Amino acid sequence: MLPFEGASMSYAEKNLAPGETIVHRARYHWIYYRTALAMLLVSVVFGLWWWIAGQRLGSPGGSAFFGWIALLFLAAAAVTFLFRRIRASADEFVVTNRRVMRKVGLFAREAEQAPIEKIQDIRLDQGVVARLLGYGSIVLETASERGRIVFPDISRPEAFRNAIWGQASTPAVATTATTATTATAATATVSSAPSTPAPASTAERLKELEDLRLRGLLSTEEYARKREEILGSL
């Protein structure tokens, strides 16, 4: 982490809604620096040729040539690594208890997010080498406007995927418990008094829908369509 990161809140922390918490953060794997590592390897190879030409072959001209190339690749590797390091510190891949967030870029930002309930599928792209080294890319298929969100070259991609599925199952468990409690209460009411309509359930659904719209998790079209569905079920 760069020194200036600790002095301020991250993008995800600044954009958390009331009651929303971060449950998982993904980071780039070291393979993200592969270009810089390749340049460093080339620099080492030319450095060896510089030493061989100067010390073993006695060729000062060839030694100088190989030496300059080694320095050139070494400088390129250092610049590439520094750029990637700053980019890795700025990019954020976050799972909260309500949504998945992806923010990339330092000055020109690109931010994507999707509510947990709109995630339709999670694909893990991981070849044999990636599996051995412990990295991969996560691709989310969502019902939101973005459609697809990609998290490339992240470390421990299985943990990131499991964190999303873990949050996706929480609402279902809560809904099941609420349904069971409501059914028990309805049975008790029927046995003691004539059945009466319970508008509280519809009111709560409308309130929750309005809350999602105010937090920007639903577009105007989605809000209108869902509201019509709730009202049409009366």
Is the pLDDT reported for residue 3 higher than 90?
no
Looking at the structure of the chain, the number of domains it has is 3
The answer to whether the pTM exceeds 0.85 is: no
Q: What range does the domain containing 127 cover?
A: 3-28+91-165
Same domain, 60 and 142: no
Question: How are strands ordered across the β-sheet holding 110-115?
Answer: 22-26, 92-96, 99-104, 110-115
Same domain, 124 and 139: yes
Q: How far apart are CA 224 and CA 21, in angstroms?
A: 28
Same domain, 21 and 41: no
Same domain, 123 and 11: yes
Same domain, 20 and 42: no
Phi, psi at residue 139, to the nearest 5°? -120, 120
Top-confidence residue, 214 or 61:
214
* pLDDT tens-digit map of 23-37: 999 999 999 999 999
User: What proportion of the chain, given as a percentage, has pLDDT over 70?
Assistant: 75
Same domain, 55 and 95: no
Phi, psi at residue 140, to the nearest 5°? -100, 130
Per the CB < 8 A criterion, the answer to whether 130 and 141 are in contact is no
Top-confidence residue, 186 or 225:
225
Helical H segments across 91-219, by residue range = 128-133, 157-192, 200-214
Same domain, 148 and 205: no
Could you tell me if residue 127 is inside a domain? yes
Same domain, 66 and 151: no
Could you tell me if residue 192 is inside a domain? no
Could you tell me if residue 221 is inside a domain? yes
* pLDDT tens-digit map of 145-183: 667 899 999 999 999 999 998 887 654 434 434 444 554
Same domain, 102 and 213: no
Of 56, 50, 9, 23, residue with least CA distance to 161: 23
CB-based burial of residue 121 (10 Å sphere; 0-12 exposed, 13-18 middle, 19+ buried)? exposed
Could you tell me if residue 191 is inside a domain? no
Is the pLDDT reported for residue 131 higher than 60?
yes
Same domain, 51 and 81: yes
Is the pLDDT reported for residue 189 higher than 80?
no
CB-based burial of residue 152 (10 Å sphere; 0-12 exposed, 13-18 middle, 19+ buried)? middle
